[in-house]
Amino acid sequence: MRELRLRALADAPDAFGSTLDGERAHGETEWIGWIEGWDGSSNALFVAEDGPNWVGMAVGSRVGDEADAHLYGMWVEPLRRSNGIGASLVEQVLGWARTWDARSVILAVTESNTGGAAFYEHLGFVDTSEREPLREGSELRVRILRREL
């Protein structure tokens, strides 16, 4: 998990709410949190495999008993994009959210990532018109997208 996430952060430093340097410093507790959940959330980690290699990931998350699920950490190796892996990962998160009758799945995509936004919109996500900073100290902003279930 750690190696896959660090590859994602190195490949797309402006796509995530954390940084490569910050996550390199994480210990075992933080990595287990990525898999199981943190701060009152429960997570479901999904990975795409090519033989023994992990080539993509997505995390579904639910905070407490809220009605909405969240999609985090979505990434597919650049050479493996455009062949359905990303859509499959998103569908796995949607399926997980349906198992507990989530109302919707919410995600954030950097405003400058027009390809990523188009990918999510193709899968039925709609721009909520909400904007937030990518992370503390960043001038980049994210668009909040939602897909009703």
More confident residue, 148 or 39: 148
CATH superfamily of 2-148: Gcn5-related N-acetyltransferase (GNAT) (3.40.630.30)
Structure tokens that stand for 127 in this block = 């721009």
Q: Which residue type is seen at 120?
A: Y
The residues spanned by each domain of the chain are: 2-148
**Residue 113 pLDDT grade (very low, low, confident, very high; cuts 50, 70, 90):** very high
Give the pLDDT confidence of 89-108 residue by residue, as tens digits.
999 999 999 999 999 999 99
Q: Nearest 5°: CA angle at 60, between 126 and 9?
A: 90
